Amino acid sequence: MKYRHCDGKLVLKVTDNKECLKFKTDQAQDAKKMEKLNNLFFTLMSRGPDADLSEVTGKEQTEAQPGKKGRGRKQ
């Protein structure tokens, strides 16, 4: 992962010595997405292709949390 302050660009580069994937952005909101993508790549590299990716993505946590119904005060 590389960040160039003068250009305001963030680049994530992943390779397996056969293919090279790059994700480039200049949007600040994409930084969180790139962090999640980087965590997925680390998990796949360390645990292999049979790894449980739901631990990394946190999808089980968001499904388990109840949604908020309103913004006003309780009556």
Strands (E), 5-52: 9-15, 20-25
Residue 61 has a pLDDT of 43
Q: What is the pLDDT of residues 9-21, one digit of tens each?
A: 988 888 888 999 8
Of 37, 40, 42, 43, give the one whose Cα is nearest residue 25.
Answer: 37
Q: Is the pLDDT of residue 51 over 80?
A: no
Q: Under 8 Å CB-to-CB from 4, ≥6 apart: which residues?
A: 11
* pLDDT for the residue numbered 47: 81
Enter the pTM of the model.
0.53
**Closest CA relative to residue 34, chosen from 50, 13, 16:** 13
